[in-house]
């Protein structure tokens, strides 16, 4: 295999999947599922071999259709983009295994559209990660976004409304981005990021450049659900089907965050951003507010999926704080948190999906301690993921906070440090609220009237105190457990990840 | 003690892991109580000898060390069985054996629910405690400190009623806030010193910190470890946590968990800041003020508690601060006294809690006002209680007298008459809140409800008698078991005279 073709192969696998699924699915619905799995597995394989190649031999630059950059479109596989591709495709693979039963259960008539849209979404997201061209990024962004809107719309009754809101705001974000790119193009005459990077230092006083960069950051910030532009996210995640949420929540916002990384640290001189434009700081402080705001709103939620969605607003804030620090430690913390949060959130949304699958709802107020009897493994997975979200060692979540906290201390930024630490407590507040109900809240006692015979249905309800095990099926449970255990592994292996994967991607000038 | 040499040995790691390894076995045998309890006992009986086997090397100045993996670039998850850690690990793992037997008697006698979860959480707690004891650096310490916080939660909410859940929430709030503050403190230390390894004499010692930075850092550390150590005003979770079953109160809330906090204070004072920096930045005065106020207030509050466990809990709060006050004196004698009090308070207070549990299981009494005449029904239990009460009031020949003696000498050495006064007054207060119980038990006539009741099950009474006997024996001959006294003075020596670890060490300083 020609390793130089890897960047395009990652995207093409998904695109072919998207084409094949409706065709094959016409004959048998099952085939659509299998095709999606194969396409993702292939892409995962390409991503991993790409990552290994990049780490040993350096970046790969792929010229689409042989046109030389900066005129042609360039796909770049460097440590950062390869890492993100592995993350996206890896998580997607696990989510797809989980989706098998879930989609059949929740939206049985829309399985084919679910898998097709998934493939399109992934093609778009991987394209956004790989491309080195600003306009091409917009194209992929729209592919991913349109697929995302449609995925959200496959959900319960309120999903179309949430999807429409997502669409409106998402389009505004994309438009901002496009406008920003136009300004940059007018000023620099190039759309290639590497090229722009070389030209920009000469144009730093230009108003057009400043406006362009601001617009780009605004647009991407909206896509990333950066406070205060997060309004579309909670509803979209809460009312989409469980499988769609499990797919969108872990990776959707991460890719937008990645674009912000690309633009801020690889396209613009970070010193310029830091000292003259202060965009990095603004992003950081918005993230910090988002961390607190998202956590506080998450405490108020009564529905598990909504709570998790608001918690995502907070978690994206961590990544923004890492960007705001604009230092190696902040970079490490942000990237590590993107990885950790993807695993944690996927795991938690798996749990909420499993609950809907078996119990029929995921409302926090209706939970009680029968769950620890009926679904002991799912509950245990939730506890482990929650501990990681709170950020207690030795789980993965602790370490991303650790690097961010070290970064904040290094710059004597006590506000960021305070926010990081306070948010730990806020996270604990909403996760322990759920854990307490899952494990401790007594089941409602339905008093059986004494004169009723024991065969009465009411009596059966009382008997649920001795509920039998009713665990989610293996294809749902195993991905959940795998991800929750991976949190321990990621936590213990974080030093390896940082030194071998993240340190090589930090640009020299940072 | 000769020059300190470290050598690689997996024993510290094994000592940490052995009770963790018992957890899956405990869960797997949840339907067969005898087998399940066997795993607990097996873990306890393996753990203690493992810790013990490190002791001769520690006396010879050889420190076992095991680096597990790099947990953050440049910082390893590392265990080191230095004499300080060994001292604490010996106390915790030794008393665990007795608590195991006692627990079995207690949970079966009281018919507790969720016994599997109980034993499993207990085992995790012990792993975390030994992990804290053997941590070689601050990050490892933090990791096990947080694990301990979480693992204790299921034990606090064990009863699963409203009160237990409220206490559980309170406990978590305190413990997690402390953890968060500790993260900030450790991060700041790392930033300032560039290292996290505990070092006898202080890792910040040679850094030339200005006094204000040192004060802020010290306050952060104090808030972080002080919650578990029950320093006022951070103590209120501890009396609330007494809703847990009594063996938990006995081992965890009198020894393992709270002493992890105290151990943390000792690590911070002796191994992070070091005596010299404590002095020059005036940190010892801050620490002494908090500890002194805690001792007096806690003793006064204990006086008016009618609930037996609540009175013991406030007494624990007071005695934890004895240790801290001893450390805060920054004199060798005071430091030795504090260390000795760490082990001596452990044996005496665990005896008292064991007695409270035996009384509850046997007679279902929890209030002190109900204890009239029980000395006749439960003579062994109440005799042990008397031994513990005498010890904590500072009456020879019980072991806590020895440590109080050293604490007082330390106060004299530091020329701190106020602190000496605190020790003496609180000794009297101790007597004032313990002896009425003894008086009721032996010299008042009990009600008719005491008829047909005898001693609690031997599974409980025998451990009670053993801890009481230990308290007496260690009082008569502090070096009798494992040379505790020499170990303590060796630790003091290493902290106060880091250079002199090269010179031979002859008994007391």
Using the predicted structure, report yes or no on whether residue A455 has a pLDDT greater than 60.
no
Q: Which of residues 369-428 of A touch B (CB under 8 A)?
A: 387, 390, 392-394, 398-399, 401-403, 405-406, 409-410, 417, 421-422, 424-425, 428
State the CB neighbour count (10 A cutoff) for residue A58. 12
Interface probe for A, chosen from B118, B146, B153, B193 (most Cβ of A below 10 Å), is B146
Residue tagged 């979209």 (tokens): A236
User: In sequence order, what are the beta bridge partners of B65?
Assistant: B8, B80
Contact B404, B336 (CB under 8 A): no
Prediction ipTM score? 0.87
Mean pLDDT of A165-181: 93
Domain contains A419: yes
Domain contains A421: yes
Among chain B residues, the shortest Cα distance to A411 is held by B191
Domain contains A470: yes
Say what the pLDDT of residue B415 is: 84
Q: Note whether B180 contacts A425, CB cutoff 8 Å.
A: yes
A492 to chain B, any CB pair closer than 8 A? The answer is: yes
- Distance, CA of B221 to CA of B188 (rounded, Å): 10
Among chain A residues, the shortest Cα distance to B190 is held by A406
Contact B249, B350 (CB under 8 A): no
- Distance, CA of A301 to CA of A289 (rounded, Å): 19
Say what the pLDDT of residue B3 is: 58
The distance in angstroms from the start CA to the end CA of chain B is: 13
- Distance, CA of B41 to CA of B503 (rounded, Å): 41
The number of domains in chain A is: 1
**Which residues, including other chains, have CB under 8 Å from residue B503's CB and lie 6 or more apart?**
none
| Residue numbers of chain B with a pLDDT score lower than 70 | 1-4, 482, 498-509
Q: B178-196 b/e with 16+ CB inside 10 Å = b?
A: bbbbbbbbbbbbbebbeeb
Between A404 and A4, whose confidence is greater? A404
Using the predicted structure, report yes or no on whether residue A463 has a pLDDT greater than 50.
no
CA distances from B240 to B174, B364, B406 (A): 12, 20, 32
Interface probe for B, chosen from A394, A404, A436 (most Cβ of B below 10 Å), is A394
Q: Over the stretch A35-67, which tens digit does the pLDDT of each residue have? A: 999 999 999 999 999 999 988 888 888 888 888
**Which residues, including other chains, have CB under 8 Å from residue B56's CB and lie 6 or more apart?**
none
Give the full edge-to-edge strand order of the sheet including B62-72.
Answer: B5-8, B62-72, B75-81
Domain that residue A307 falls in: 291-447+455-510
Q: Residue A334's pLDDT band (boundaries 50, 70, 90)?
A: very high
Q: Which residue in B147, B149, B165 is closest to A436 by CB distance?
A: B165
Q: Are strands B62-72 and B5-8 parallel, antiparallel or unpaired?
A: parallel
Q: Which residue in B73, B177, B191 is closest to A495 by CB distance?
A: B73
Helix, strand, coil share (%) of chain A residues, nearest 5: 80, 5, 15
Using the predicted structure, report yes or no on whether residue A191 has a pLDDT greater than 50.
yes
Which chain B residues are Cβ-neighbours of A496 within 8 angstroms?
A: 70
**What is the value of pTM for the model shown?**
0.89
CA distances from B33 to A108, B80, B234 (A): 46, 35, 38
Among chain A residues, the shortest Cα distance to B177 is held by A425
Share of chain A above pLDDT 70, in %: 95
Helix, strand, coil share (%) of chain B residues, nearest 5: 75, 5, 20
Domain contains A260: no
Among chain B residues, the shortest Cα distance to A439 is held by B160
CA distances from B490 to A465, B11, B262, B322 (A): 57, 22, 19, 20
Contact B82, B63 (CB under 8 A): yes
Say what the pLDDT of residue B505 is: 37
Which chain A residues are Cβ-neighbours of B183 within 8 angstroms?
A: 401-402, 405, 421, 424
Domain contains A4: no
Q: Over the stretch A377-418, which tens digit does the pLDDT of each residue have? A: 888 899 999 999 998 888 888 999 999 999 999 888 899 999
Give A37-94 as a DSSP string.
Answer: HHHHHHHHHHHHHHHHHHHHH--EEEEGGGPPTTTS-EEEE-HHHHHHHHHHHHHHHH
Domain contains A72: no
Domain contains A41: no
The secondary element (H helix, E strand) that includes residue B6 is: strand B5-8
Q: Residue A466's pLDDT band (boundaries 50, 70, 90)?
A: low
Which chain B residues are Cβ-neighbours of A406 within 8 angstroms?
A: 187, 190-191
Using the predicted structure, report yes or no on whether residue A464 has a pLDDT greater than 50.
no
Among chain B residues, the shortest Cα distance to A412 is held by B188
Say what the pLDDT of residue B509 is: 36
Averaged confidence pLDDT in chain B: 84
Give the Cα-Cα-Cα angle A348, A349, A351 (nearest 5 degrees): 65
State the CB neighbour count (10 A cutoff) for residue A445. 9
Say what the pLDDT of residue B498 is: 65
Say what the pLDDT of residue A259 is: 92
**Which residues, including other chains, have CB under 8 Å from residue A275's CB and lie 6 or more apart?**
none
Total residues belonging to chain B: 509
Domain contains A321: yes
Q: B11-36 b/e with 16+ CB inside 10 Å = b?
A: bbbbbbbbbbebbebbeebeeeeeeb
Say what the pLDDT of residue A45 is: 93
Q: Over the stretch B167-202, which tens digit does the pLDDT of each residue have? A: 888 888 998 999 999 999 999 999 888 888 888 888
């Amino acid at each position: 295999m020609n390793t130089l073709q890897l960047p395009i192969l990652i995207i093409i696998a998904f695109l072919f999947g998207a084409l094949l699924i409706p065709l094959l699915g016409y004959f048998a619905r099952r085939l659509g599922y299998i095709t999606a799995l194969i396409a993702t597995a292939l892409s995962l394989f390409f991503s991993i071999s790409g990552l290994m190649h990049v780490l040993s031999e350096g970046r790969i630059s792929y010229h689409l259709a042989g046109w030389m950059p900066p005129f042609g479109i360039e796909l770049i596989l460097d440590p950062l983009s390869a890492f993100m591709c592995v993350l996206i495709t890896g998580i997607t693979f696990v989510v797809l295994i989980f989706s098998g039963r879930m989609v059949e259960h929740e939206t049985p008539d829309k399985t084919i559209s679910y898998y097709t849209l998934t493939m399109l979404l992934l093609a778009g997201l991987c394209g956004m990660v790989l491309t080195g061209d600003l306009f091409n990024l917009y194209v992929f962004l729209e592919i991913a976004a349109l697929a995302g809107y449609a995925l959200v719309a496959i959900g319960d009754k309120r999903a179309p409304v949430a999807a429409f809101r997502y669409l409106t705001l998402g389009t505004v974000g994309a438009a901002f981005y496009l406008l920003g790119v136009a300004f940059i193009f007018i000023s620099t005459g190039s759309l290639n990021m590497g090229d722009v990077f070389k030209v920009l230092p000469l144009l730093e006083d230009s108003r057009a450049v400043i406006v362009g960069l601001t617009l780009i950051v605004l647009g991407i910030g909206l896509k990333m659900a950066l406070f205060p532009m997060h309004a579309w996210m909670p509803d979209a995640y809460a009312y989409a089907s469980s499988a769609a949420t499990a797919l969108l929540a872990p990776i959707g916002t991460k890719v937008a965050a990645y674009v912000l990384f690309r633009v801020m640290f690889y396209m613009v001189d970070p010193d310029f951003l830091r000292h003259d434009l202060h965009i990095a700081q603004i992003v950081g402080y918005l993230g910090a507010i988002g961390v607190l705001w998202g956590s506080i709103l998450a405490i108020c939620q009564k529905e598990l999926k909504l709570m998790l969605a608001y918690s995502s607003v907070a978690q994206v804030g961590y990544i923004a704080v890492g960007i705001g620090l604009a230092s190696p430690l902040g970079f490490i913390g942000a990237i590590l948190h993107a990885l950790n949060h993807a695993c944690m959130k996927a795991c938690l949304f798996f749990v909420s999906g499993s609950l809907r699958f078996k119990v029929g709802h995921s409302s926090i107020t209706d939970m009680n301690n029968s769950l620890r009897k009926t679904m002991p493994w799912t509950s245990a997975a939730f506890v482990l993921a929650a501990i990681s979200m709170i950020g207690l060692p030795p789980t993965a979540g602790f370490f991303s906070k650790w690097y961010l906290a070290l970064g904040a201390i290094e710059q004597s930024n006590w506000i960021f440090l305070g926010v990081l630490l306070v948010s730990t407590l806020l996270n604990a507040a909403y996760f322990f609220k759920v854990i307490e109900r899952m494990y401790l809240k007594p089941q409602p006692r339905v008093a059986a009237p004494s004169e009723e015979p024991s065969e009465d249905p009411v009596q059966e309800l009382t008997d649920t105190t001795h509920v039998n095990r009713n665990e989610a099926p293996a294809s749902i449970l195993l991905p959940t457990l795998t991800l929750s255990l991976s949190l321990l592994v990621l936590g213990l292996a974080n030093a390896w990840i940082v030194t071998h994967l993240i340190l090589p991607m930090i640009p020299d000038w940072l | 003690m000769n020059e300190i040499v470290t050598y690689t040995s997996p024993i510290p790691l094994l000592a940490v892991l052995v009770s963790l390894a018992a957890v899956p076995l405990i869960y797997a045998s949840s339907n067969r109580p005898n087998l399940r309890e066997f795993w607990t006992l097996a873990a306890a009986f393996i753990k203690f000898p493992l810790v013990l086997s490190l002791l001769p090397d520690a006396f010879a100045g050889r420190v076992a060390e095991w680096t597990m993996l790099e947990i953050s670039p440049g910082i390893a998850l590392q265990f080191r069985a230095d004499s300080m850690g060994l001292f604490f690990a010996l106390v915790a793992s030794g008393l665990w054996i007795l608590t195991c037997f006692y627990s079995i008697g207690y949970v079966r006698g009281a018919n507790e629910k969720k016994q599997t979860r109980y034993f499993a959480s207990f085992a995790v707690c012990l792993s975390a405690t030994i992990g804290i004891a053997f941590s070689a650096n601050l990050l490892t310490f933090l990791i096990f400190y947080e694990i301990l916080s979480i693992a204790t939660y299921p034990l606090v909410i064990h009863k699963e009623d409203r009160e237990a859940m409220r206490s559980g929430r309170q406990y978590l709030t305190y413990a997690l806030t402390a953890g968060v503050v500790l993260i900030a403190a450790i991060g700041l230390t790392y930033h300032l010193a560039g290292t996290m390894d505990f070092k006898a004499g202080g890792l910040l010692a040679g850094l030339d910190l200005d006094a204000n930075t040192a004060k802020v850092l010290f306050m952060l550390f104090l808030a972080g470890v002080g919650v578990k150590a029950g320093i006022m005003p951070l103590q209120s979770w501890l009396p609330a946590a007494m809703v847990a079953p009594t063996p938990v109160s006995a081992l965890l809330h009198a020894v393992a968990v709270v002493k992890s906090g105290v151990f943390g204070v000792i690590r911070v004072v002796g191994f992070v800041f070091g005596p010299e920096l404590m002095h020059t930045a005036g940190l010892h005065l801050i620490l002494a003020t908090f500890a002194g106020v805690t001792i007096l207030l806690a003793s006064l509050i204990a006086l008016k508690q009618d609930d037996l466990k609540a009175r013991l809990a406030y007494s624990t709060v007071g005695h934890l601060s004895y240790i801290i006050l001893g450390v805060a004196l920054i004199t060798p004698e005071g430091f030795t006294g504090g260390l000795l009090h760490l082990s001596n308070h452990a044996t005496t207070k665990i005896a008292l809690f064991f007695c409270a549990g035996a009384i509850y299981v046997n007679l279902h009494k929890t209030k002190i006002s109900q204890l009239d005449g029980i000395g006749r029904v439960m003579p062994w239990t109440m005799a042990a209680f008397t031994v513990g009460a005498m010890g904590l009031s500072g009456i020879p020949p019980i072991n806590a007298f020895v440590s109080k003696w050293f604490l007082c000498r330390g106060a004299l050495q530091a020329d701190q008459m106020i602190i000496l006064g605190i020790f003496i007054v609180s000794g009297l207060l101790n007597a004032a809140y313990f002896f009425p119980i003894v008086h009721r038990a032996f010299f008042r006539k009990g009600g008719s409800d005491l008829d047909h009741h005898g001693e609690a099950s031997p599974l409980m009474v025998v451990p009670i008698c053993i801890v009481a006997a230990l308290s007496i024996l260690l009082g008569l001959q502090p070096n009798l078991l494992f040379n505790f006294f020499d170990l303590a003075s060796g630790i003091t020596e290493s902290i106060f005279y880091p250079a002199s670890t090269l010179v031979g060490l002859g008994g007391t300083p």
